[in-house]
Amino acid sequence: MKNRKLGSTLARDGASHGPAKVSGANLGSFSGRTNALVQHFGSVAEVARRSGSSETAVRKWIDGAEPSVERCLALAKGTGVSLAWLLGGVPPMWESEMTEAERDTQMIVLGDPDDEAVKAAYRRRDAALKGFVAGLATAQEPQERASQAVRREDLKIALQLASEALGNRELPPDKHAELVTLIYELLEEGLPEAKVLRFARAAAA
């Protein structure tokens, strides 16, 4: 899987930003969410600086253009927002407000796999997945079985999206499993399938 190595200082970057109190922004679109970031950080220039993009590019996003996946990743890392929020408006907005599992997913997506913090995130995620698999085998209560059925359906969708993203290409088994896992976790966070597929295609390139 392609590694973008955008850094592994997510917790530190996110912690420097308090929860935004943005008024009047349409958070239902990428344009509106970009505008919310401009309001929070005070200027187009500051958002451009944090994302490593030009002011012209940021203004285009506000006007309705959508950036590449790479730009989205850089924007999320540079501003400390949740990738799921940036791409699909899925709360919470800030990385600092995410659960540990959500932060681990974002760190794995944005971070350098050789960094110790990212390796720890992989270990926590793998432990959680093992617990999930064990739960599938031992769930007894009807409500638990219903919940596991929903998760099985998400896993099935993740496998389908991974296959669609790869097309005729193949990945080594460990990289294929990693791609499926990341897709599954983004689906669990509530990101729309179309957005997840777009990310998966770029990640598998």
- pLDDT of 151 over the 80 cut: no
55 and 84 part of one domain: yes
Is there a cis peptide before residue 142, judged by omega within 30 degrees of 0? Answer: no
Residue at 3 is within a domain? no
Residue 70 maps to a domain? yes
In a domain, 2, yes or no: no
In the predicted structure, residue 6 carries a pLDDT above the cut 50: no
Please list the alpha-helical segments (H only) found in the chain. Answer: 10-15, 30-41, 44-51, 55-62, 69-79, 83-88, 100-110, 116-138, 142-166, 173-188, 193-203
The answer to whether position 4 is within a domain reads: no
Distance CA 142, CA 45 (A): 53
For residues 166 and 178, the answer to whether their CB atoms sit within 8 Å is: no
Confidence bin at 96 (pLDDT 50/70/90) = confident
Q: pLDDT digits over 182-194, tens only?
A: 888 888 778 888 8
pLDDT at 13 over 60: no
Which of 96, 122, 156 finishes a domain?
96
Residues 62, 121 within the same domain: no
Last residue of a domain, one of 96, 127, 150: 96
Report how many domains make up the chain: 2
Which DSSP symbol is given to 96? G
pLDDT at 38 over 80: yes
Do 127 and 62 share a domain, yes or no? no
Contact (CB, 8 A) for 202 and 69: yes
pTM attached to this predicted model: 0.58
Q: Which of 52, 54, 20, 58 is nearest to 39 (CA)?
A: 20
Q: 55 is in which domain, residue-wise?
A: 10-96
Residue 199 tokens read as 């990310």
Largest CA distance in the chain: 56
What per-residue confidence (pLDDT) applies to 54? Answer: 96
The reported pLDDT for the residue numbered 149 is 56
Q: What per-residue confidence (pLDDT) applies to 16?
A: 42
Domain-located, residue 15: yes
SS3 94: strand
The answer on 185 and 119 residing in a single domain is yes
80 in any annotated domain: yes
158 and 183 in a single domain? The answer is yes
pLDDT, tens digit, 9 for 90 and up, residues 44-87:
999 999 999 999 999 999 999 988 888 988 999 899 998 888 98
The answer to the question of residue 37 being in a domain is yes
pLDDT of residue 136: 58
> Does residue 112 sit in the same domain as residue 181?
yes
pLDDT on residue 33: 93
pLDDT, averaged across the chain: 77
User: Would you place residue 100 in the very low, low, confident or very high pLDDT band (cuts 50, 70, 90)?
Assistant: confident
Q: Where is the domain boundary, 64, 96, 128? A: 96
Instruction: With respect to residue 160, please indicate whether it lies within any of the assigned structural domains.
Output: yes
